[in-house]
Amino acid sequence: MWNVLLSFSGLVALIQLIFLPFFPESPPYLLLQKEDKAGCLKAMKQLWGEGNYQTEFDDLMKEKAITKGTKIMNVLEVLREGSVHPQLCTMLLLLLSLQLCGLKIFETANLQESIIPYVSLGVSISELISIIFCSSIIDRFGRRVLLCGGYLLMALILVLLETSLLLSDQFLWLRYCSVILIFLFIIAYGLGP
């Protein structure tokens, strides 16, 4: 029944597709991107209930004044911008290595077929934990600390992972440690990068 479990995310996506058109746009998007002041105030009232949101509106207006000279780029413009190519390549290589890394580890671990659905569930739970944890600490520590800490944790976990894979033939329990390290890697990735 693991295929039913994995298809549950598709059901959630379908529910979102059905109901999201009935929700208002975000107030910052309406004000900063569309320059719709009335729509922004209306969205604030729809999302947060009746009240005076002049302070929040003024904060958005200040942000708009600060970013007035900044040009918003679409995806193609970002891809054409030479100054971001190193960052894009780094992200692409990291994402590709994540995919290959997981396949190799699950192959190397020689897990029983009955355990694979639980491993897939564990990966999803790890992603969920990282999203919840990151969203709760990002305001306290800031993006820079989370990025640096996340990359350092990922590097440490990859060293441990490589070690566990090299020694997994001698110590069978290290195969399961490899799977746990994958979960920790996903959590570290979600915390920062």
Assess whether 59 and 126 both reside in one domain.
no
CB 34, CB 16: distance < 8 Å? no
Assess whether 151 and 116 both reside in one domain.
yes
Higher-confidence position of 59 and 138? 59
Assess whether 158 and 82 both reside in one domain.
yes
CB 108, CB 172: distance < 8 Å? no
Round the CA-based radius of gyration of the chain to a whole number and report it: 22
The pLDDT tens digits for 70-101 are: 776 776 787 888 888 888 888 777 666 555 55
The residue among 72, 99, 129 that closes a domain is 72
If you average pLDDT over residues 179-192, what whole number do you get?
81
Assess whether 126 and 34 both reside in one domain.
no
Assess whether 95 and 16 both reside in one domain.
no
The residue among 72, 94, 115 that closes a domain is 72
* pLDDT mean across residues, the chain: 77
pLDDT at position 11: 78
Assess whether 55 and 124 both reside in one domain.
no
Percent of the chain with pLDDT over 90: 0
pLDDT at position 137: 77
The pLDDT tens digits for 28-38 are: 888 887 888 89
pLDDT at position 3: 63
CB 7, CB 23: distance < 8 Å? no
pLDDT at position 170: 85
Assess whether 65 and 114 both reside in one domain.
no
If you average pLDDT over residues 30-55, what whole number do you get?
86
pLDDT band per the 50, 70, 90 thresholds, residue 2: low
Assess whether 82 and 54 both reside in one domain.
no
63 three-class SS: helix
Closest CA to 190 of 132, 121, 122, 142: 132
Q: Which domain holds residue 175?
A: 76-191
Assess whether 52 and 114 both reside in one domain.
no
Place of tokens 């979600």: 190
126 three-class SS: helix
Assess whether 28 and 102 both reside in one domain.
no
pLDDT at position 5: 65
pLDDT at position 99: 53
The residue among 72, 99, 120 that closes a domain is 72
What is the C-alpha separation between 166 and 160, in angstroms, rounded?
Answer: 10
Closest CA to 42 of 33, 17, 51: 51
What is the C-alpha separation between 164 and 174, in angstroms, rounded?
Answer: 6
CB 47, CB 79: distance < 8 Å? no
First to last CA, the chain: 33
Assess whether 65 and 7 both reside in one domain.
yes
Q: What is the token pair recorded at 44?
A: 């604030």
The pLDDT tens digits for 95-148 are: 665 555 555 556 556 666 677 667 777 777 777 777 777 777 776 776 777 777
What is the C-alpha separation between 171 and 22, in angstroms, rounded?
Answer: 55
Assess whether 52 and 84 both reside in one domain.
no
The structural domain count of the chain equals: 2
Q: What angle do CA 105, 108, 112 make, to 5 degrees?
A: 100
